[in-house]
Amino acid sequence: MISQPCEIPFHHPVTGRRYTYTPDYLVYYRLGNRHYRDYPKPLLVEVKPREKWQAHWREWSPKWKAAIRHANNEGWAFRIHDESRIRDKTLDNITFLARYKRMVFPSVESQAVLNTVREMGVATLDYLLSRHFMGDIYRAEGIAHLWHLLATRQLDCDMAQSFSPLSEVWVPDYE
């Protein structure tokens, strides 16, 4: 995701004045080893509170039309999202995992977990804990280690779902 990715010039149809519009984000998707034809288009996004964009729809329409034209020219899509759309379980999960990103664990242990998941294709958090971090003493460290692997994107999961012992994880393929 790129914050404020571009500036889009446009003319206001009523006043004829020239303006520049800067969308909030450009989102690129990483979906493993899908063929490029199966990938969704990058998404140019404007985020506004629902009440504001509904109240100012006509006023802001020229800049959004310019954004649609710009996105189409670039091979992207353009969407307007209200804030509730981004303040969801995914954001909660990303915020939760952020504290584990800077932790350090033995690379040998990390590789063992990653190899297990690679061999299986998909594994649950509970399975990985029982296989690699047996015993009460190691369980807390194992949980932190798995959160670290998710936070650093060495493992991936469905971030839109609540974490649970049965959450499935996989090794992402960003090629």
User: What pLDDT sits at residue 175?
Assistant: 45
According to DSSP, residue 19 is labeled E
Indicate the pTM of the whole model: 0.56
How much of the chain exceeds pLDDT 70, in percent?
A: 90
Give the model confidence (pLDDT) of 128-146 as tens digits: 999 999 877 788 899 999 9
- Flag whether pLDDT at 21 surpasses 70: yes
Q: Dihedral through CA 114, CA 41, CA 3, CA 73, nearest 10?
A: 150
User: What pLDDT sits at residue 24?
Assistant: 87
Nearest partner of 167 among 117, 119, 133, 132, judged by Cα: 117
- Flag whether pLDDT at 98 surpasses 80: yes
User: What pLDDT sits at residue 31?
Assistant: 62
Average pLDDT over residues 107-132: 96
* Rounded distance between C-alpha atoms, residue 171 and residue 115, angstroms: 9
What is the pLDDT of the chain when averaged over all its residues? 88
